[in-house]
């Protein structure tokens, strides 16, 4: 933690940890469970030091079984607790799909609202660490497709803290995506306890020529690309979705109406990716009449993430890819 120009600077990782600590101090019903989250401090070090403050009852190391973790968390939530389960890699959620998709997501509806299920699933996601095909995926579209589950994908340290606090307080299952490459990034984070509402996008950069819709790691990449294109006289608006479900449709449509062009950027593979849902939303809204060029999607290739670093980088959109796609789109039809 550092202080610059009067603003407290935290890494994304530190902001997530602070959100966890503050909520656990505030509410004794909140507890953590997952593999190696106690003495070891978690696969990426997020929970380091927390067992010393809260003890092994509230920072619970589990067996190596994501199905068991999700089942235990679902049961605890039904009994009035507010569990936060850490999955080492988002890929391993495949092992807990039955508990999350067939049980946790549906129970509140099947009980007519008489039961609630306040469960947060922390899921380190994405490529860029050389972890290869089974440890580098972005599986958000699977969970967005499941009624009853909310999906959050913060891009900044401040949003990571505020959105996590809101996710913990929500009475529904929430998948909380933490991109592994964001953990070491820094940003200004307020020291007090604050909750950033779910379902509210944020315009991270105002622009007039083209809208880039992004979330998670694609937000800082889009902002860097926008900075480069500004030197060419291309004025980019960057909208950080922040939560994919619930989705802030109003902010998206307003931005596209304003600029008349839209580039959708995400890391997950293009086929069946969340970008298709965004494109359909825009095409079916009033924003369609404002478009001066076709909606364009920039997404990961339809391949497993390679181990080779050069191939891994080429498999998902980088800053230069966003620059090239946005430049082309901004010039189209002019």
Alpha-carbon gap, residue 144 to 39, rounded angstroms? 33
Helices (H), ranges, the chain: 12-26, 50-54, 66-78, 97, 105-110, 140-144, 157-169, 218-230, 249-259, 274-283, 309-315, 319-331
Of residues 144, 331, 147, 104, the one with CA closest to residue 241: 144
Alpha-carbon gap, residue 160 to 157, rounded angstroms? 5
Residue 144 contacts residue 101 (beta carbons within 8 Å): no
SS3 112: coil
Structure tokens at 23: 């909520």
Of residues 124, 143, 144, 105, the one with CA closest to residue 45: 124
Q: What is the dihedral of CA 44, 50, 51, 53, to 10 degrees?
A: 170
Active site residue 266: no
Alpha-carbon gap, residue 102 to 96, rounded angstroms? 10
Give the neighbor-by-neighbor strand order of the sheet with 120-125: 59-61, 30-34, 82-86, 120-125, 174-179, 150-152, 243-245
Which is catalytic among the residues 14, 66, 237, 267?
66
Active site residue 179: no
Structure tokens at 21: 């600590």
Phi, psi of 11 (to 5 degrees): -75, 160
Q: Which residues pair with 176 in a beta bridge?
A: 122, 152
Q: Which residues pair with 67 in a beta bridge?
A: none
Which is catalytic among the residues 23, 135, 140, 312?
135
Distant-in-sequence, close-in-space partners of 334: CB < 8 Å, separation ≥ 6: none
Active-site residues, by number, are 66, 135
């Amino acid at each position: 933690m550092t202080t610059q120009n009067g603003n407290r600077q935290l890494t994304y990782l530190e902001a997530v940890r602070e959100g966890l600590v503050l909520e656990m101090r505030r509410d004794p019903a909140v507890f953590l469970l997952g593999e190696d989250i106690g003495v070891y401090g978690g696969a990426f070090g997020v929970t380091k030091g927390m067992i010393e403050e809260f003890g092994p009852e509230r920072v619970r190391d589990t067996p190596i079984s994501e199905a068991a973790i999700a089942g235990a968390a679902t049961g605890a939530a039904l009994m009035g607790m507010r569990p936060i389960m850490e999955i080492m890699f988002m890929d391993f959620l495949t092992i807990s799909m039955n508990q999350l998709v067939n049980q946790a997501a549906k129970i509140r509806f099947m009980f007519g609202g008489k039961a609630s299920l306040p469960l947060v699933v922390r899921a380190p996601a994405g490529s860029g660490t050389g972890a290869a095909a089974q440890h580098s995926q972005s599986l958000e579209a699977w969970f967005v497709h499941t009624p009853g589950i909310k999906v959050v994908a913060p891009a900044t340290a401040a949003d990571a803290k505020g959105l996590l606090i809101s996710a913990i307080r929500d009475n529904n299952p929430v998948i909380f995506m933490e991109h592994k490459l964001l953990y070491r990034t820094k940003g200004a984070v307020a020291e007090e306890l604050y909750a950033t509402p779910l379902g509210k996008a944020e315009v991270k950069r105002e622009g007039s020529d083209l809208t880039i819709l992004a979330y998670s790691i694609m937000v800082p990449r889009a902002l860097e690309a926008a900075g480069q294109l500004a030197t060419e006289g291309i004025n980019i608006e960057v909208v950080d979705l922040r939560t994919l479900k619930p989705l802030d449709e109003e902010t998206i449509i307003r931005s596209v109406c304003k600029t008349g062009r839209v580039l959708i950027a995400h890391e997950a593979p293009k086929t069946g990716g969340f970008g298709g849902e965004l494109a359909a939303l825009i095409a079916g809204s009033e924003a369609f009449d404002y478009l001066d060029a076709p909606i364009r999607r920039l997404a990961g290739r339809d391949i497993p993430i390679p181990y080779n670093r050069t191939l891994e980088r080429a498999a998902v959109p980088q800053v230069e890819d966003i620059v090239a796609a946005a430049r082309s789109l901004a010039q189209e039809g002019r």
